[in-house]
């Protein structure tokens, strides 16, 4: 169990660094990406029993949704790594020139999609941690962070335009402050983690608290959108 937690923590750290190209060089991005893929494989091995249980037991709404997210993440992550290798600058022997254009778009789309899905995936398992917290203050803080995360995801970084390939070139602001880059990534990830956690509650028949949580997050998003607007670069 301890090894599993360490691997998951390292995976999350690598994810934050992968999404922070403003503050990392291309070489670091590629090597840390390779490390992340290795950790991903280790994560699969440590959770191999999940695959063996796929055809056993009853599929509730929550289990069905969780299975869909897990396989979507698996496919998206593998495609991210595969496309990344094709367009790599540090592993030219693995380049496939005829696929470069496709791989660039695939890497752009799947990388951001994997980020979103990893957040939801973590949120679906967050109950094990949340159940040990006896105060409401962490929930209030999570809502505030998630509200800003939604604003950063939709308005500041316009990530949906990359996932749906409406924008085929990633806009990277290399002048953005280091702390702000990390804070945005953490808050965006927190939004999708909170989303996964609240959806898990809805799928088990609990509607009131998730409804209040989501409403609060969108109120904060609306306030930020009206007060700060959308950066001119978009």
Asked if 150 and 192 count as a contact pair (C-beta separation under 8 A), the reply is no
Residue 126, C-beta contacts closer than 8 angstroms, at least 6 positions apart = 193, 196, 197, 200
Number of CB atoms found within 10 A of residue 115's CB = 22
**What six digits make up the tokens of 154?**
């939709």
Closest C-alpha among 205, 190, 199, 16 to residue 124: 199
Query: Quick one: pLDDT at residue 98?
Result: 67
- Position 95 scores a pLDDT of 61
What pLDDT sits at residue 234?
44
For the entire predicted model, the pTM comes to 0.90
Q: What pLDDT sits at residue 88?
A: 85
Q: What are phi and psi of 60, to 5 degrees?
A: -80, 175
State the angle between helix axes of 178-202 and 61-86 in degrees (0 to 180), rounded to the nearest 10: 150
How high is the pLDDT of residue 135?
53
- Residue 101: the pLDDT is 84
Entry field: residues in the chain? 234
The single-letter DSSP state of residue 23 is: S
Low-confidence residues in the chain, pLDDT < 50: 134, 234
Q: What is the pLDDT of residue 184?
A: 94
Q: What is the pLDDT of residues 69-79, one digit of tens each?
A: 999 999 999 99
Query: Angle at the Cα of 15 (from 111 to 96), degrees rounded to 5?
Result: 40
pLDDT of 2: 80
DSSP class of residue 90? S
Contacts of 116 (CB under 8 A, 6+ apart): 159, 163, 192
d(CA 196, CA 191): 9
CB atoms within 10 A of CB 1: 6
Cα(22)–Cα(117) distance, integer angstroms: 22
Q: Report the pLDDT value the prediction gives residue 137, as an integer from 0 to 100.
A: 58
Q: Which of 193, 191, 184, 182 is nearest to 231 (CA)?
A: 184
Closest Cα to residue 76, out of 22, 119, 47, 21?
119
Residue with tokens 């249980």: 53
């Amino acid at each position: 169990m301890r090894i599993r937690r360490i691997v998951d923590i390292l995976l999350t750290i690598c994810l934050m660094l992968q999404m922070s190209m403003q503050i990392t060089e291309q070489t670091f991005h590629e090597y840390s990406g390779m490390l992340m893929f290795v950790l991903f494989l280790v994560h699969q091995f440590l959770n191999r029993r999940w695959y063996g249980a796929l055809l056993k037991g009853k599929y509730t709404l929550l289990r069905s949704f969780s299975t869909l997210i897990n396989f979507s993440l698996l496919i998206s992550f593998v495609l991210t790594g595969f496309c990344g290798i094709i367009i790599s600058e540090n592993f030219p022997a693995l380049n496939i020139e005829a696929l470069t254009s496709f791989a660039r778009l695939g890497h752009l789309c799947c990388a951001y999609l994997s980020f979103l899905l990893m957040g939801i995936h973590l949120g679906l398992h967050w109950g094990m941690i949340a159940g040990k917290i006896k105060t409401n203050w962490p929930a209030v803080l999570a809502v505030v962070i998630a509200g800003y995360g939604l604003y950063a995801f939709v308005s500041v970084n316009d990530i949906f335009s990359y996932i749906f390939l409406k924008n085929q070139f990633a806009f990277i602001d290399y002048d953005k402050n280091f702390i702000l880059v990390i804070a945005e990534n953490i808050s965006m990830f927190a939004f999708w983690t909170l989303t996964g956690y609240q959806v898990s509650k809805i799928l088990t028949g609990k509607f009131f608290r998730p409804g209040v949580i989501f409403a609060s997050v969108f109120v904060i998003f609306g306030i930020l959108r009206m007060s700060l607007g959308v950066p001119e670069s978009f």
